[in-house]
Chains A and B, each alone.
Chain A
Amino acid sequence: MSRLFFLFCLIAIQTLSPANAQEKTESDFPPAIEAEARTVGKSLRCVVCQNQSIEDSSAPLAADMRQLVRERLAAGDTPEEVRAFMTDRYGNFVLMKPPFQPDTFILWGAPFAFVLIAALCWRLYLRPGERILDTPDPLSDEEAARLRARLQEPGDI
Chain B
Amino acid sequence: MIGEIGLFCLILALTAAVVQSTVPMWGAYARNSRMMSVGDSAAVVQFLLLAVAFGCLIAAFASSDFSLRIVAANSHTLKPLFYKVTAAWGQHEGSMLLWVLVLAAFGGAVAVFGTNLPATLKARTLAIQGMIGVAFLAFIIFTSNPFARLFPAPFEGNGFNPLLQDPGLAFHPPMLYFGYVGFSIAYSFSVAALIEGRVDAAWARWVRPWVLASWCFLTVGITAGSLWAYYELGWGGWWFWDPVENASFMPWLIGTALLHSALVVERRHALVNWTLLLSILTFTLSLIGTFLVRSGVLTSVHAFAVDPARGVFILGMILLASGGALTLYALRASVVKQGPPFAGVSREGGILANNLLLLCATAVVFLGTFYPLLIDTLTHDKITVGPPYFNMTFAPLMILVAMIMTFGPFVRWRSDSAKAATTSIRRPAIAAALLGLVIGTAGKSVVAGLGFGFASLVIFGLIAWVIKRTRLGLVPLSQSLYLARAFPRATWGFLGAHLGFALVMIGVAGTTSWNSETVSVMRPGDTLSLSGYELTLSSNTITRGPNYEAEQLTFNVALNGHPDGVIETERRYYPERDTFTTEAGIRPGPLANLYVAYSQSESGEGYTVRFNRHPFVIWIWIGGFVIAGGGFVSLTDRRFRVAAPHKTVRSARRAHAEGV
* Complex contacts, B308 vs chain A, CB 8 Å: none
Query: Using a CB-CB cutoff of 8 Å, which residues 1-56 of chain A contact chain B?
Result: 4, 12, 15-16, 18-23, 25-27, 38, 43, 45, 50-53, 56
Report the separation of the CA atoms of residues A119 and B353 in the bound assembly, to the nearest whole angstrom: 8
Report the separation of the CA atoms of residues A128 and B519 in the bound assembly, to the nearest whole angstrom: 62
Do the beta carbons of A133 and B341 come within 8 Å of each other? Answer: yes
- Closest-CB distance, B162 to chain A (whole angstroms): 8
The answer, among A18, A103, A118, A131, for a CB contact under 8 Å with B338, is A131
Report the separation of the CA atoms of residues A128 and B341 in the bound assembly, to the nearest whole angstrom: 8
Report the separation of the CA atoms of residues A52 and B344 in the bound assembly, to the nearest whole angstrom: 44
The answer, among A51, A98, A115, A132, for a CB contact under 8 Å with B383, is A98
- Number of residues on chain B facing chain A (CB within 8 A): 58
Report the separation of the CA atoms of residues A115 and B401 in the bound assembly, to the nearest whole angstrom: 12
- Closest-CB distance, A82 to chain B (whole angstroms): 16
Interface residue SS majority, chain B: mixed
Report the separation of the CA atoms of residues A15 and B599 in the bound assembly, to the nearest whole angstrom: 10
Do the beta carbons of B578 and A12 come within 8 Å of each other? Answer: yes
- Closest-CB distance, B361 to chain A (whole angstroms): 9
Q: Contacts A20-B608, A51-B242, A121-B356 known; A107 to B368 CB distance under 8 Å?
A: yes
The stretch among A87-95, A140-148, A149-157 that forms the contact with chain B is: A87-95
The answer, among B375, B386, B579, B608, for a CB contact under 8 Å with A16, is B579
* Complex contacts, A132 vs chain B, CB 8 Å: 341
Would you call A104 an interface residue if the criterion is a C-beta within 8 Å of the partner chain's C-beta atoms? yes
Report the separation of the CA atoms of residues A59 and B243 in the bound assembly, to the nearest whole angstrom: 21
Do the beta carbons of A110 and B364 come within 8 Å of each other? Answer: yes
- Closest-CB distance, A105 to chain B (whole angstroms): 11
Q: Contacts A38-B517, A50-B301 known; A114 to B600 CB distance under 8 Å?
A: no
Query: Using a CB-CB cutoff of 8 Å, which residues 515-534 of chain B contact chain A?
Result: 517, 519-521
* Complex contacts, B602 vs chain A, CB 8 Å: 18, 20-23, 25
Would you call A125 an interface residue if the criterion is a C-beta within 8 Å of the partner chain's C-beta atoms? yes
Query: Using a CB-CB cutoff of 8 Å, which residues 254-303 of chain B contact chain A?
Result: 299-301, 303
- Closest-CB distance, B481 to chain A (whole angstroms): 39
Q: Contacts A18-B599, A121-B356 known; A50 to B300 CB distance under 8 Å?
A: yes
* Complex contacts, A128 vs chain B, CB 8 Å: 341
Would you call A134 an interface residue if the criterion is a C-beta within 8 Å of the partner chain's C-beta atoms? yes
* Complex contacts, B359 vs chain A, CB 8 Å: 114, 118
Residue of A nearest to B384 (CB): A45
Q: Contacts A27-B521, A133-B338 known; A15 to B384 CB distance under 8 Å?
A: no
Q: Contacts A20-B601, A104-B383, A133-B340 known; A27 to B303 CB distance under 8 Å?
A: no
**Chain B 333-361 near chain A by CB (<8 Å), digits 1 or 0:** 00000101111100001001100110110
Query: Using a CB-CB cutoff of 8 Å, which residues 89-130 of chain A contact chain B?
Result: 91-99, 103-104, 106-107, 110-111, 114-115, 118-119, 121-122, 125-126, 128
Do the beta carbons of A93 and B387 come within 8 Å of each other? Answer: no
Q: Contacts A27-B519, A50-B303, A92-B384 known; A114 to B364 CB distance under 8 Å?
A: yes
Residue of A nearest to B346 (CB): A126
Residue of A nearest to B303 (CB): A50
Do the beta carbons of B382 and A93 come within 8 Å of each other? Answer: yes
**Chain B 572-613 near chain A by CB (<8 Å), digits 1 or 0:** 000001111100000000000000000111110000101000
Do the beta carbons of B341 and A16 come within 8 Å of each other? Answer: no
Query: Using a CB-CB cutoff of 8 Å, which residues 522-570 of chain B contact chain A?
Result: none
Would you call B82 an interface residue if the criterion is a C-beta within 8 Å of the partner chain's C-beta atoms? no
The answer, among B243, B383, B387, B599, for a CB contact under 8 Å with A92, is B383
**Which has the most chain A C-beta neighbours within 10 Å: B360, B382, B608?**
B360
With A92-B383, A96-B388 known, 7 other A-B pairs at CB within 8 A are A15-B581, A51-B301, A91-B382, A103-B379, A104-B371, A110-B363, A118-B357
22 CB < 8 A contacts A-B: A4-B306, A16-B579, A18-B602, A20-B603, A23-B602, A43-B388, A50-B301, A91-B383, A93-B383, A93-B384, A95-B383, A95-B386, A96-B388, A103-B379, A107-B385, A111-B360, A118-B356, A118-B359, A122-B344, A122-B356, A128-B341, A132-B341
Closest 10 pairs between A and B when the two form their complex, measured CB to CB: A96-B386, A131-B341, A97-B388, A118-B356, A93-B382, A50-B301, A114-B360, A20-B602, A111-B393, A92-B383
